[in-house]
Structure 1
Amino acid sequence: MTTHRISSALDDQARAILQGNDRGGYTIPTDGLYPYQWNWDSAFAAWGFSTFDLDRAWTELETLFSAQWDDGMVPHIIFHKQDPGYFPGPEVWGTNKTPATSGISQPPVAATMARLILQADPEAGRERIAALWPKIVAWHRWWRDYRCGTGVVAITHPWESGRDNCPDWDIGMAGVDGSNVGEYTRRDTGHVDPSMRPGKAEYDRYIAMVQFGRACGWDQREIVANGPFLMEDPGITFILTRANDDLAAMGRDLGHDVSEIEGWAADLRAAAPRLWNPETRGFDARDLKTGRFADRIASAAFLAYLAGVETPELAARMDGIWDAVRYGFPSADPAADSFEPRRYWRGPSWPVVNALLAIGLKDRGLDAAAERLRRETAELIEAHGFFEYFDPIDGTPCGGDAFTWTAAIWLTWAGADDPAKGAA
């Protein structure tokens, strides 16, 4: 998987994007469209910074965890500074936190990114990870306590998955009443072509879920028990499984007893077959309101490689889906009626997900597949720059430009001399 350095000019551009989106201890995903600190974006930003500024990488994670709630949750948005150009802002969420935050979380990739950063200089990072480690443990315990009631991870809002409008969530979204949310003005469609973003009916439902959370004071047990949306998510299930492995590995090096964390990972692996849908021949989301599978297969299903729970049947599905497009792995099945190659998570190829998939493939010994994914992702960035996501069929750049995590993925993996081997 080792390659030559592809383009030093692109390296310079990627570093400039990270530094340009730096707001002093935290990094925004891109100017205008996303003016705050986002949870998993920030973790990837830290990985990117680690290629040229290790201190800044650790600071990114420390700032993220500075907004951790008392119950252990790390919110998906931290509103460090007011920006009227974003909706829904802190006044809509109404969490009454300082700093202001949203009321949901996001995929827990921080432990995996922290371990990759630590590998760059274990001695220099030892004190930093020692301080962060108990905070990450508390966050993982929050997932266990509040989201793993059926054995796998469930989400209470599509935004919590990080894959906001993925077809996985359509059946759960259908049961959400968005007709009474009132008037509001979206800001995202002023920055990006509306055809590349979720539609208004979807957004109404998103806001209805936020309003329910605010009305109950963000009582997580109430939201799980009676909120309008609750679906099992293969993506976070597999990310958390891997993150528990990485957290345990770092804890052992620090001299901690990690048996509890190892148990969390084992329990998630044991429960993973619950997500297997024989109809789609893959790991699938499930609506816990109805008990029904989504009957969709998405890129999240293949994060099973990251967690070490892949199956031979899944490998066959991966080849069919991947070969149906040209650039990277599509976020949704190209053969499905719901596939839209340029609309956010309903089809585009995301460099950040491609990187996670490649780490999993590499760890499973599938070097050729991992290298193919790196090469295709690099081709997109070389041709079009650092966009948020891309049309997987013709490579059209989509979403926000000068995007932090795409720049980070270039520096760490897509354009790297020694692409990430994963936290082994």
Structure 2
Amino acid sequence: MGCLVSTPKDTGGNRRRPGSIGEVSVYVPGLRIPKPVDFSQSLSGHVSKTLVERLTAMRTRIVVMAGQEALTITRTRRKTTTQHGRSTLADLHQALEDYLPVLLGLVSDGSQLQFKVQFIWVNQEDDAEETAMFNAWYEVLSVLHLMAVLSLSQANLLLLPRTSADFYQPKASEESRRGSIDIFLKAAGYLDCAVRHVLPRLPSELRRNLPVDLAEGVLRALCLQALGQGVDIQLGMAIDSTKATLAVKRRLACEMVKYWQQAQDNLMNLPLSNGWGEKHRHFVKWKYVEAKAAAYYYHGLILDEGNTEKSHGMAVAALQAADEYFEESKKACEVFNAAHPLSRNPPLWGTMKYLSEKIPKDTSSKVRINRDLYSHEKNMGTPPTLPDFALALKPNEYQLPPVDPSWNENVQLGHIGTNEVKRG
């Protein structure tokens, strides 16, 4: 059990650290790419030849597909379908789902087989090149992480705005927005399962030696930001709806603040010193500040509905805070895009397109009205506290699949060594 560091020539040529990752609506971490392992040598005498061959074939397919996808994952304008019309992301995702039930036979009922195979993964993000560990739960964790990253990549592609039919302005379709929420919840579910059901299975020493992109704080942050971006889409849809009240919009904006704040808290003490890690931190900060601009804007509009000088003054303070946070968010966005690997912002649409026009205009108007109404200029001081709402959006519940039935046949054949592997 442990880690090893290899040289670049050992990575098989699939590794590529892009200098530019195109347009970003959703932050997508660099891929963790599996490297070939020798199941036959590790499991000989413990597992039937048929099962060894199946494990080898399934994982080899993933190795090849992930290596190819790593070269194109960040090219946001690339062709995303194979000759059969299926998304390459979907194909790789399906291969991972097919592999999990077979892989889980190695850990069923605490089998010692989980320590027989050395699983090796390359991290596209950092300079450590390879991490190798003799623990099948590490492989399960890496698979779930890759499934989540592929989902975030798919959401990013869905949310990159396209020119509308009337050529008025770029935007994402209603179908794409609704679809992205489902994808965010699935991604959050994979990550939540990894944190709650897989990490606790790893020995404490191994957990300390995990690469930083599999650290609990990073997994939790990715889960929370998936939920935060899901709420962002919900807010944009509420803005477009004539039936959504100010109270509904404020609640969504305030919930979004909490998701991004918690994501930022989870990253705070992690050693994200490489370019991708710092870029991740910049993305969370940008979205956190952006969310506060939206929350203070809607909070200010609701406070302004009061009929007292105090409520009007608090409204102006909230709107001024919204304006300041919006300006700060624009700077944070520039810092994020300038961080390695370079990226660019897609054209404004949805929530921020609307708020970029409304926040400066309404703030200026309310300050002027307040000044005229009370005949003197007041220093509004600190903005009022935002309301505290319970978080409504939750990860989809994802459960590890049952062990593949082929392991039952392996037990019957008696090729399992001293510890029997039973169906989980």
Question: Do these two structures clear the TM 0.5 threshold for a shared fold by scoring above it?
Answer: no
TM-score w.r.t. the length of structure 1 is: 0.35
Q: Between Structure 1 and Structure 2, which shows a larger proportion of helix residues?
A: 2
- Greater Rg, structure 1 or structure 2? 2
Higher relative contact order (CA 8 A, sep 6+): 2
TM-score w.r.t. the length of structure 2 is: 0.35
